[in-house]
């Protein structure tokens, strides 16, 4: 039974171009499901709707969040759809399996004022790391790119003259993103003044470097941003992804077309981008409620 799981994971990587993180999540969820059924079931064709309902109930009894249960159910459904398509099975027991209802939470965003307060924090110092930090904060907000995309950037991906940056998104797809004048200036300042003080190996291609002269990691970047959030005393939880959410919401507030925001964010499906219109509607409703009669 494990062999079919391995075949599915290979399919995700080779055919669907799923990232390592996505494939790993599928692997963990499917192995958990396999462990649950392995005592009583010796083949995938023995899995029934009753088996699946028992699995979902076991997850709920273990106090998994509804969103986590829904993800695990989605992984199992995708796996059985794959086996049906590959004719490994002749019937799909997940066809009528319902996923738990998940209450959709709107992303946390920063107001333009809070964005300014955060972007100003590196200016309190003039050392090489502060210049670097100013550059990547400006770039995150100017482009809405994912943190994984930002730390993967090489020097050659940035064109300050044309004011754009090339980044690789999920599935190794590339997109060219325009950058603001502020982001261009911060990047130019970093490349001209600070990166040379951080780099140790002249062959290093990474754009953003840590104190050891190596590529800045996602974890390292998050810790840096966390420090600036605390220094700015914003009073709300902020993650690197908050800048992405804020970028999209502020663009739509400024009149940008949804399709253009979808392209800039690298969303495969526009329904993913539409959540930012709900943030706008929520803000408008709050303003209407607060308005004097």
Crossing angle (nearest 10°) for helices 66-85 and 2-14: 90
Backbone angles phi, psi at 19, to 5 degrees: -70, 165
Among 65, 55, 37, which residue's Cα sits nearest to residue 98?
Answer: 55
Q: In angstroms, rounded to a whole number, what is the distance separating the alpha carbons of residues 34 and 27?
A: 10
> Choosing from 71, 77, 170, 182, which is the catalytic residue?
170
Catalytic residue among 146, 195, 245, 250: 146
Annotate 232-242 with b (16+ C-beta within 10 A) or e (fewer). Answer: bebeeebebeb
For the question of residue 241 being annotated catalytic, the response is yes
Determine how many CB atoms are found less than 10 A away from the CB of residue 44: 17
| Cβ–Cβ < 8 Å for 37, 94 | no
Cα angle value 212/218/222 (rounded, 5°): 95
Q: Please indicate whether residue 3 is annotated as part of the active site.
A: no
Q: Which residues of 6-32 are buried (b: 16+ CB within 10 A; e: fewer)?
A: eebbebbeeeeebeeeebeebbebbee
CA-CA distance, 229 to 231, in Å (whole number)? 5
List 132, 195, 244, 250, catalytic entry: 244
Distance CA 238, CA 230 (A): 9
Q: Is 244 a catalytic residue?
A: yes
Walk across the sheet containing 164-168 and list its strands: 158-159, 164-168, 174-178
Q: Is 276 a catalytic residue?
A: yes
Strand ranges inside the chain, DSSP E: 158-159, 164-168, 174-178
CA distance 7 to 270: 30
Residue numbers annotated as active site: 146, 170, 241, 244, 267, 276
């Amino acid at each position: 039974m494990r062999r079919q799981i391995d075949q599915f994971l290979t399919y995700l990587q080779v055919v669907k171009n799923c990232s390592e993180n996505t494939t790993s999540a599928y692997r963990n969820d499917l192995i958990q499901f396999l462990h649950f059924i392995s005592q009583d079931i010796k083949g995938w064709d023995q899995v029934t709707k009753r088996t699946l309902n028992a699995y979902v109930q076991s997850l709920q009894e273990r106090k998994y969040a509804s969103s986590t249960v829904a993800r695990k159910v989605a992984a199992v459904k995708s796996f059985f759809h794959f086996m049906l398509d590959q004719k490994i099975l002749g019937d799909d027991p997940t066809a009528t399996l319902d996923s738990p209802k998940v209450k959709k939470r709107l992303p946390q965003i920063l107001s333009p004022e809070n964005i300014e307060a955060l972007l100003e924090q590196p200016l309190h110092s003039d050392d090489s790391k502060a210049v670097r930090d100013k550059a990547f904060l400006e770039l995150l907000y100017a482009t809405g790119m994912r943190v994984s995309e930002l730390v993967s950037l090489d020097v050659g991906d940035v064109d300050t003259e044309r004011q754009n940056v090339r980044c690789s998104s999920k599935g190794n797809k590339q997109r060219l993103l325009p950058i603001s004048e502020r982001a261009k200036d911060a990047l130019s300042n970093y490349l001209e003044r600070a990166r040379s003080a951080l780099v140790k190996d002249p062959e290093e291609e990474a754009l953003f470097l840590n104190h050891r002269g190596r590529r800045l990691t996602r974890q390292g970047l998050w810790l840096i941003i966390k420090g600036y959030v605390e220094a700015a005393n914003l009073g709300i939880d902020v993650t690197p992804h908050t800048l992405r959410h804020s970028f999209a919401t502020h663009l739509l507030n400024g009149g940008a077309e949804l399709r253009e925001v979808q392209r800039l964010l690298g969303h495969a499906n526009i329904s993913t981008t539409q959540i930012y219109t709900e943030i706008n509607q929520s803000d408008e409703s709050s303003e209407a409620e607060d308005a004097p009669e």
